[in-house]
Chains A and B, each alone.
Chain A
Amino acid sequence: MGWNWETAQELWPLLMEGLRILLLVTLISSLIALALGLVVALTDRSAPRAVTMPLFAVMEFIRNTPVLVQAVFVWTAVTMWLGTAASPMWTGAIVLGVHYASYTAEAYRAGIDGIPKGQWEAITALSLPKPRAWIAVLLPQALRRSTPALGNYVIALFKEVPILSAIGVTEMVRQVDGYAGLNYTGALEGFTIAGLIFLVVSYPVALLMRKLEKRLAN
């Protein structure tokens, strides 16, 4: 049961296909998380309590239940509703995106809260209209502050994609599982290489974020 290079070689194309799906899901989910989180953070700041209270409750609910449960639940519900199997990749990507939006919303909120009071006062003193103030003054400053946290959430999201193998998303872990299930071998090689690939992709991004964080701290 030692390491087998032949098995590793056989697994390689499967892993690459898995990586492609993994990156695709990460991309879709991240875009959803980044966009929706911003919408939530801005709504939270400007909408009446009748809107923000339920929104807060939904976000708390999403944050405090596992992605796995959310993904299986949504996939099952959508499948029942459609009467035919929902696309695992799209369902998974959307669930993961919405889940992380509940975190990115907090990152955005912290970025907005960090804007000095004087900036708001200057906006008032210059009579800048609200939409213009957000676009030209507040968001650029808030995004700068939020970027390191947002980057870290994208990395975390990337590492959580394998959870979606539970609903049949054929990312790397699912591919190795499938191969090992058919051939009664390859788990060692497959998971080792998959782990290394995760490291190779996420570590540079993590380093970049740390550098960014340091630069912003100065």
Chain B
Amino acid sequence: MVHFENVVKRFGDLEVLQGLNFQVQPGERVTLIGPSGSGKTTILRLIMTLEQVTDGVIWVEGEPLSHMRKGERLVAANEAHQRQVRKKIGMVFQQFNLFPNMRVLRNITEAPVHVLGQSKEQAHTRAKELLELVGLSDKADAYPSQLSGGQQQRVAIARSLAMSPDILLLDEVTSALDPELVADVLDLLKDIAQSTDITMLIVTHEMGFARDVSDRVMMFDRGVIVEDGPPSQVMGDPEHERTRSFLKAVLGESQG
């Protein structure tokens, strides 16, 4: 489904990912944990094509994302190819990134109408369903600025689901929220995880959520995978000292 093959990402002199290899199976929920600067967010941004790989290949559903086939060879992907492949991918951002000039409903219908070619009625119907799912049926005509952070993030989740993605990327989706609004968003995501088979890649500091929702946890440090396994193992009984000290730091923080 998602396959990183020797992926290297450099920002100038800084090598964020050093020849990364991993695979995510269809329907799998994978949480990436690790200290900031360990490359987790970069991985999501590479999959979303917000960044381009320095070296290596990213495969999505058997298609190279960072590259395209030219006969037998792989060449750097152009914009059209990337747009084609990434239609299957949705992303929810830390800062929501709703379109402030559009009402909630149009935030959700804009892409289905203009990218997937749905009719307006079709998109509206679907958007209303999704707003009900995220518990904001009464906010269809509001502007994003009239909503709380938690509500905006729930709209952003609805917006990404409206595209019926096969893969959903969640990039620290609760980090910008006031503490009392975090639980609503996490509960919603747990519902979605339970009721759909969307493949999810999650970057979060909410360890409880990570444990509840993921099939697999990958611990990153300085661009390499330190530990990779089910949450019960990586979070419950980590093998590596690096993982232990990271977990101790974040858990201590959230308890304090």
Contacts and interface: CB of A to CB of B under 8 A. Distances in A.
A118 B163 contact: no
Contact of A122 (B49, B98, B114): B98
Interface in A115-155: 116, 118-119, 121-122, 124-129, 132, 136-137, 140-141, 144
B50 A122 contact: no
A185 B83 CA distance: 72
A126 B115 contact: yes
A118 B95 contact: yes
Contacts of B83: 127, 129
B160 A128 contact: no
Interface in A79-119: 116, 118-119
A122 B97 contact: yes
B226 to A, nearest CB: 28
B111 interface: yes
Contact of B87 (A118, A122, A127, A141): A127
B101 A126 contact: no
Contacts of B110: 126, 128, 136-137
B75 interface: no
Interface in B147-177: 159-160, 163
Contacts of B99: 119, 122, 136-137
A129 B79 CA distance: 10
Interface string B99-113: 111100000001100
Contacts of B50: 121, 124-125
Contact of B115 (A122, A128, A141): A128
B114 A125 contact: no
A121 B115 contact: no
B235 interface: no
Contact of A128 (B89, B97, B100, B114): B114
Contacts of A136: 99, 102, 110, 114
Contacts of B90: 125
Contacts of B95: 116, 118
A137 B93 contact: no
B56 to A, nearest CB: 21
Given A116-B95, A116-B97, A118-B97, 18 more contacts: A118-B95, A121-B50, A121-B97, A122-B97, A124-B86, A125-B50, A125-B97, A126-B110, A126-B115, A126-B160, A127-B86, A127-B111, A129-B83, A132-B114, A137-B101, A137-B102, A137-B110, A141-B100
Interface of A: 116, 118-119, 121-122, 124-129, 132, 136-137, 140-141, 144
29 contacts: A119-B97, A121-B48, A121-B50, A121-B93, A122-B93, A122-B97, A124-B50, A124-B86, A125-B50, A125-B86, A125-B89, A125-B90, A125-B91, A126-B111, A126-B115, A126-B160, A128-B110, A128-B111, A128-B115, A129-B114, A129-B115, A132-B114, A136-B102, A136-B110, A137-B101, A140-B101, A141-B100, A141-B101, A144-B101
